[in-house]
Structure 1
Amino acid sequence: MLEKLGLLPFRTFIRNKSIQNFLFLAIIQSSNILITIISMPLLIQGIGVDQFGLVNLALAVIVLLNIMIGFGYNLSAPREIAVNQHNKVALSHLVSNIFSGKILLASLSTLIILLGVFGLDLFKEYQLILVYSILLLFSEATLPLWFFQGMEKMKLISIANVFSKLLYLMGIVLFIHSPEHSHWVNFIMGFFGLAVNLFLLFYIHTFLEIKFYRPQFSAIWLSLRENILFFFSNLTGYISVNGGLIILSFFARAETLGMYSLAERVVMVLRLFPALIIQAIFPNASKLFKSDITSFNSFLWKVYLRVLLFGAMIAASVYFAAPFIIRVLSRSDLTESVMYLKLLSPVLFLSCLNIPNITLMLVADLKRLLFKASWMMCLYMILVTSTLTYLYQGIGLCLGILSTDIAAYIICMLLLRKQNRKLYNGFYK
């Protein structure tokens, strides 16, 4: 057996573009998580718990606006880049229009913040922090992740992401020492993110020979119209995934919120895995779907079965290791948090169920179907989770989240079967 394992073409395995995409995307996400974990105690010690909460509140507003800036390009752009990999002229026009569109959206988002702060006197407790966070909008607008993902060249951007996060961590250590410095926290993150992104744009122009043309406003407007359903899909998906804690805040006391949020942090890390898989296989899947539908279905089935097996193993590991995980994160035995984490441990496996349905919708450019599935899932999540949380509080929320993942799989599969029977039968039969 060992001899057979030794004969496996490991180098060929590592050179697989989808495997490389997944690994580098995993590096990006894991570095983000690691830097967040390291920076949290440093920030709390430097600016205090109250200001730390306001910094995160401002960041939540920015993240919501970043969904508008992304405007579905994270889903549509990699496919367009992938199918035009060898056409420098088409790539140049695509890149120019997408960056121009995102910068326009970032400018609009900036205007919304400034109008809210100085015109309507909103966000009173953290106005200064929010204004200094505006740089994060342009950091998001200039992030070329979608380009490197479509080109299947993820190594450079993964290194650049780690470097920018390390610079951010260094900035916290050097400059954030008192509550009066709280407005610089998100500014530092945005500044270093934007600086690294501009270096990546220089690399794209100089070494990959991609030209930057003047924006074609008609093409930008057309792409925004085409992506509007992706945007609403992302928005409803964000609410479905991140809305649980907000719902719980209406029905539970602060202690329960704290216990649940600790378990939720672990679950949020697990939830990254299915998204990483879809992003990693998307460029190759798009090319196979266009050139050879049989090879596409075979490729997707192989990925699906392996992901389900891996998801089941990780879910079981989290269930049995829940007491240890909570003890490491909190440095104490929190029985209620352990219970929530055990209840939520199947989330990874259940969210993996929907990978082929989402991939089929993306490669076939079924934006309306994806949007319809997203808002149905969001509506189900709000209604069912709110009811269960009202009746059973934290336990009800966990059950609602699990049922939402199951409902999402059923909704997507039934919609796909109804709207595009040929595509559905090609994969499932």
Structure 2
Amino acid sequence: MSKLSKKLSSEQKTIAKNYSSLVVLQGLNYILPLLIIPFLERQLGLEKFGLVMLAQYLMAFCVAAADFGFNVTATREISIIKSQGGDYSTVYFKVFWARMILLILVFGLLSLVVFSVPRFSIEWHIYLLSYGAVIGQTLLPDWFFQGIEKMRLLTVVNVVAKVLFTILLFVFITAPSDYFYVPIFNSIGFLTAGIFTFLLSMKYVKWQWPNFKESQEFYKESFQVFTSNIASQLSYAANGVILGIFAGDAVVGIFSAFDKLIIAAKKMFLPFYQAMYPYMARKSFSEKKQMMKKLIPIVAFVGLIGVVVILLIGDWIIEFLYNDVTIYKNTYLFKWMSIIAFFTGLSSLFQALYAPARKLFKNRMMMMIIAGVFNITLSLIIVPYLGLKGTIIAAIGTEAILLVLASYFYRSDIIRHE
């Protein structure tokens, strides 16, 4: 191992360190859902479990709205400043203040929706209590630590926060009537991570008040990424929300039981993409092209292995994790969803790594909007008739569309520069 370390350049060593830290964090993201989701399903019952999962789908949309695409654009800016030995403060605080304003606006919009729609107003406290997680994630400067390539510190804080959340759940939730604790404890976990890492990031920057006039170009680029992320999260949230409207909270619970496991499989490549992004952003076009040529077959192969594993042992996984007969009866739908892991691994190679590194924000935006509109339209057409099966068909179809679009935009960029 020491011999291998000596052969690596300083940049490669940094990538390796960040990747190992992100693998630990992603590994926790695999393990904890395997503990938490079955536990909540058993303790709360399908209906209350579906309700708290529905609130989480909505919070994912709120997080994307409050982030405004800075997770992509600001990370790139910070990585470039790092390579030049510059001051991070200006970029840091134009992101921070914009996020604070957006956090207030998004909460106002969420409150309007919750109290205006009878479907949500009945359990309004669940949605508003869940917003603490959005505050925590908005304070969390993960984009900054990714940009300066110091992910180990961020990983430690996130691990502590996630473990805290898990312990609180297992100690205090013993019956369906305890369902309101879920958003409270989830918020505590995210707020702990967000506040602590925000305070840690202050040693790298000097306090500044906002200067929005000189940041218009940066915000314009971020808006394109924001539109992409909103389309993506709207699509993600729409699956649970539309299913909940037409089929009820219990069916959302079944979908969530499968979806949380598939999300873990979808994100198997995320640590690598996050570790590679600052590095690739600094490289020339020809170097980016060579990296992609090497990565595409590897990602495709690993994705296919994931599909085969779920197809072979999907029944055992569901039976082991859940004790609800209704969930087990629908295991074949979980197996259908396995193809999502393959589609997402390849499409994310473009939209999460290559496109941001090449500043193809407009292409990325178009890709996510088209897929989002497709998903919502198809869901509204088929879910009223097919219920859970319709939602899963829409989810698979959307991931297939994303892969087709990613392939098209990637190939077009390569041809344009050859």
Partner of 2:99: 102
The alpha carbon displacement at 1:129 in A equals 3.2
Q: 1:127 to 1:254 in 2, by over 3 A?
A: closer
Of residues 361, 381, 390, the one that matches 2:375 is 381
Q: 1:125 to 1:13 in 2, by over 3 A?
A: farther
Matched, 1:308 2:300: yes
Give the distance between the partners of 2:218 and 2:355, measured in 1 at CA.
Answer: 18
Partner of 2:186: 189
Of residues 190, 197, 210, the one that matches 1:215 is 210
Of all paired residues, the percent bearing the same amino acid is 20
Give the distance between the partners of 1:116 and 1:394, measured in 2 at CA.
Answer: 24
Letter in 2 for 1:160: V
Q: 1:108 to 1:405 in 2, by over 3 A?
A: closer
Partner of 2:319: 327
Letter in 1 for 2:400: I
Taking the TM superposition and a 5 Å limit, the aligned residue runs for 1:20-419 are 20-40=17-37, 52-86=49-83, 90-114=87-111, 123-173=120-170, 182-206=179-203, 209-219=204-214, 222-246=217-241, 260-288=255-283, 292-331=284-323, 336-358=329-351, 359-384=353-378, 398-417=392-411
Give the distance between the partners of 1:409 and 1:242, measured in 2 at CA.
Answer: 20
The alpha carbon displacement at 1:164 in A equals 0.9
Which shifted more, 190-199 or 304-313? 190-199
Considering Cα pairs closer than 8 Å and 6+ residues apart, tell me whether 1 or 2 has the greater RCO.
Answer: 2
Give the distance between the partners of 1:248 and 1:220, measured in 2 at CA.
Answer: 40
**CA contact 2:54–2:241 (8 Å) conserved in 1:** no
Q: TM-score, normalised by structure 1?
A: 0.81
**CA contact 1:350–1:406 (8 Å) conserved in 2:** yes
SS at match of 2:164: helix
**CA contact 2:243–2:388 (8 Å) conserved in 1:** yes
**CA contact 1:95–1:212 (8 Å) conserved in 2:** no
The alpha carbon displacement at 1:317 in A equals 1.5
Give the distance between the partners of 1:332 and 1:120, measured in 2 at CA.
Answer: 30
Give the distance between the partners of 1:318 and 1:87, measured in 2 at CA.
Answer: 45
Letter in 2 for 1:91: Y
Q: 1:62 to 1:356 in 2, by over 3 A?
A: closer
- Say what the alpha-carbon RMSD is for the aligned residues: 3.7
**CA contact 2:269–2:345 (8 Å) conserved in 1:** yes
Letter in 2 for 1:340: L
Q: 1:249 to 1:92 in 2, by over 3 A?
A: closer
Partner of 1:3: none
Give the distance between the partners of 1:246 and 1:115, measured in 2 at CA.
Answer: 16
Which shifted more, 265-274 or 228-237? 265-274
**CA contact 2:19–2:275 (8 Å) conserved in 1:** yes
Q: 1:172 to 1:248 in 2, by over 3 A?
A: closer
Give the distance between the partners of 2:144 and 2:287, measured in 1 at CA.
Answer: 25
Structure 2, gaps ≥5 residues long: none
Q: 1:338 to 1:239 in 2, by over 3 A?
A: same
Larger Rg, first or second structure (1 or 2): 1
**CA contact 1:354–1:409 (8 Å) conserved in 2:** yes
SS at match of 1:354: helix
Letter in 1 for 2:136: S
Instruction: Report the number of matched residues.
Output: 414
The alpha carbon displacement at 1:147 in A equals 0.9
Give the distance between the partners of 1:117 and 1:351, measured in 2 at CA.
Answer: 31
Structure 1, gaps ≥5 residues long: 1-5
Letter in 2 for 1:352: G
